[in-house]
């Protein structure tokens, strides 16, 4: 046999044997079937669009057109092979039809039981066996064997070892991002001359211990976390979040385990007995942009920040394009759109709300040794404030002595005020920042006044609405001769302590105070307890004048946060007086 005939015969034998082997080889879903679905089917029957409620992304959906083990009874195969152009899939104007080989793969897959596999990226990886290589003395570890095996398969050879100066320069830039110093080079030269391997190991250990190691490698994480020293929009003012950046650097230098690195950044404030660094680590998701431009909607950009947190979490930790699922189910990965908003709900409970001052913030001590004391003091102050308020919430629950105050005159500085048939005072018209309501009521025995604020719409699905803040509240008695007597308010209790403003601010002439800011998310109430009970004197008739000033403005100071639906009630119960004068409570 000539060499040419031998080569041709060998080729024919190899081809036939290869075809036979391929024919007998089991069909693998991810390798063989899924690419066919992606190429021909998922454009119309995928995540973005599921024509006929059929999606080739989800197993349960595919089983609606497949009978495992029975290809001839499967609607899928019938649609792929029918001669009826009205039923043949895919339609002629929707792309190429499946080839005979592709249809055969689908048939064999169904016949073998239509076994389904999740996309490879969702399957836990298994460590493959270390490949055998020809140049067995070259690999220094298992990973090198994989690299060398791929090179040998392409008839390539490893480059010769780098010269000492070249190696040192490379390792310094790789590990610390800086060139070697002259002293490092001279020392490395001496050690390399005696023992090259030991010299390299010592140098690597030295660089790993360098503080510059954390600075070099933290930079990559900071990019993934969208770190910046400014807000990111329009005027782009400075943001003080560098303490979190420094925490990341310290974490890299301390070789913090990745699971702990993850937990502390996503939920550092929720772990058992969190330390000051745990709270600091949770600033990972405060790297969202803040829009301080006038006229922007705080609620809109608060929600933008929540969306960014969802997308960033999935991109950084899962390596997926989860952001696609905001508008539709994922085109290829098994993520239905509902999952996006379930995950968003986890983040949609934060206090930040696109404020110009980046609220809420924590204090950072100049001396890190004092940081624990700073954090503990802040927490004690917050807990104590909530405890003081909780006493009023508890007292308010069973109180049945509240009586609605029906106004005898409504006098706003701007807009109009009207009493509706349900007893609510409603504001309308132009209500600018700084508007003042003067409300006059018949005088009555009184120990406390309750102010209720409600959204304009009764349907909770329409909430939240723009903010409503009572910045300054004053109560005055005006007698028949016009003589005015101020009625001091000692303390304010509210249904909750939340947001950038404390209800107690309503006793000061400031922009803060009781209400909902920057949006009104739900009905609110506050009780204003008088310093001393007021008793009606029959010999001195008169009325109450309640002044509610409203100086708060949301959306970078452009939208007034005025009360648009509210009511006023009073009580003469002495329990409120006893509460605010309880010496033990205020110790």
pLDDT in tens, 400-429: 789 999 999 999 999 999 999 999 999 999
- Mean pLDDT of the chain, nearest integer: 92
pLDDT value of residue 425: 98
Q: How far apart are CA 552 and CA 201, in angstroms?
A: 63
Q: How far apart are CA 320 and CA 309, in angstroms?
A: 14
Tokens 């969208």 belong to which residue?
226
Per-residue pLDDT averaged across 456-469, rounded? 94
Q: How far apart are CA 181 and CA 24, in angstroms?
A: 62
Q: What is the value of pTM for the model shown? A: 0.83
Cis amide prior to 464 (ω within 30 degrees): yes
Give counts: helices (H), strands (E), the chain: 17, 16
* pLDDT over threshold 60, residue 162: yes
Confidence of residue 24 (pLDDT cuts 50, 70, 90): low
Per-residue pLDDT averaged across 554-566, rounded? 91
Q: How far apart are CA 523 and CA 454, in angstroms?
A: 4
Per-residue pLDDT averaged across 39-52, rounded? 92
pLDDT value of residue 92: 87
Confidence of residue 445 (pLDDT cuts 50, 70, 90): very high
- State how far the alpha carbon of 169 is from the alpha carbons of 165, 173, 252, in Å: 6, 6, 22
Confidence of residue 6 (pLDDT cuts 50, 70, 90): very low
pLDDT value of residue 498: 87
Q: How far apart are CA 37 and CA 32, in angstroms?
A: 10
* pLDDT over threshold 80, residue 530: yes
Q: Is the domain defined by 402-580 classed in CATH 2.60.120? A: yes
Tokens 């609606």 belong to which residue?
64
Parse the chain into domains and list their residue ranges.
14-120, 164-209, 216-362, 402-580
* pLDDT over threshold 80, residue 17: no
pLDDT in tens, 181-196: 999 999 999 999 999 9
């Amino acid at each position: 046999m000539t060499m040419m005939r031998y080569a041709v015969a060998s080729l024919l034998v190899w081809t036939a044997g290869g075809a036979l082997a391929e024919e007998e080889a089991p069909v693998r879903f991810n390798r063989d079937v899924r690419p066919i679905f992606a190429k021909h089917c998922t454009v119309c029957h995928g995540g973005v669009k599921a024509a006929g409620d059929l999606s080739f992304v989800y197993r349960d959906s595919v089983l609606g057109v497949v009978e495992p083990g029975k290809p001839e009874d499967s609607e899928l195969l019938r649609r792929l092979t029918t001669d009826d152009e009205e039923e043949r899939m895919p339609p002629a104007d929707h792309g190429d039809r499946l080839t005979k080989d592709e249809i055969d793969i689908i048939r064999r897959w169904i016949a073998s039981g239509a076994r389904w596999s999740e996309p490879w990226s969702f399957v836990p990886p298994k460590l493959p066996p270390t490949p055998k290589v020809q140049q067995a003395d070259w690999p220094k570890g298992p990973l090198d064997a994989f690299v060398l095996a791929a090179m040998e398969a392409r008839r390539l050879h490893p480059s010769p070892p780098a010269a000492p100066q070249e190696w040192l320069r490379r390792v310094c830039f790789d590990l610390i991002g800086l060139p070697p110093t002259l002293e490092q080079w001279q020392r490395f030269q001496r050690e390399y001359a005696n023992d090259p391997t030991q010299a390299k190991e010592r140098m690597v250990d030295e660089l790993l211990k360098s503080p510059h190691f954390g600075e070099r490698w933290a930079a990559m994480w900071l990019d993934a976390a969208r770190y910046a020293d400014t807000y990111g929009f329009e005027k782009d003012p400075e943001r003080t979040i560098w303490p979190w950046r420094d925490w990341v650097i310290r974490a890299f230098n301390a070789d913090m385990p990745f699971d702990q690195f993850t937990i502390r950044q996503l939920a550092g404030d929720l772990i058992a007995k969190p330390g000051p660094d745990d709270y600091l680590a949770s600033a990972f998701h405060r790297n969202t942009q803040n829009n301080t431009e006038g006229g922007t909607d705080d609620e809109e950009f608060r929600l933008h920040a929540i969306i960014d947190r969802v997308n960033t979490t999935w991109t950084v930790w899962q390596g997926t394009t989860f952001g696609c699922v905001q508008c539709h189910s994922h085109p290829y990965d098994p993520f239905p759109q509902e999952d996006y908003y379930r995950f968003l709900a986890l983040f949609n409970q934060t206090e930040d709300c696109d404020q110009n001052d980046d609220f809420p913030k924590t204090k950072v001590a100049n001396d890190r040794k004092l940081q624990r004391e700073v954090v503990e003091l802040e927490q004690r102050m917050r807990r104590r404030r909530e405890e003081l308020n909780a006493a009023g919430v508890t007292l308010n629950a069973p109180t049945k002595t509240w009586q609605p105050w029906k106004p005898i005159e409504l006098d706003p500085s701007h807009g109009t005020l009207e009493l509706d048939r349900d007893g609510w005072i409603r504001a309308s018209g132009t209500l600018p920042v700084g508007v003042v309501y003067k409300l006059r009521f018949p005088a009555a025995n009184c120990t406390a006044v309750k102010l209720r604020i409600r959204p304009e719409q009764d349907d909770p699905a329409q909430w939240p609405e723009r903010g409503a803040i009572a910045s300054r509240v004053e109560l005055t008695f005006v007698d028949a001769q016009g003589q005015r007597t101020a009625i001091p308010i000692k303390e304010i209790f509210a249904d909750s302590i939340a947001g950038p403003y404390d209800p107690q601010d309503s006793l000061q002439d400031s922009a803060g105070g009781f209400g909902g800011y920057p949006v009104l998310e739900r009905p609110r109430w506050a009780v204003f307890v008088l310093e001393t009970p007021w008793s009606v004197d029959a010999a001195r008739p008169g009325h109450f004048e309640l002044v509610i000033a409203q100086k708060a403005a949301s959306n970078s100071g452009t939208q007034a946060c005025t009360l648009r639906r509210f009511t006023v009630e009073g009580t003469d119960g002495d329990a409120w007086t006893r509460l605010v004068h309880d010496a033990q409570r205020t110790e």
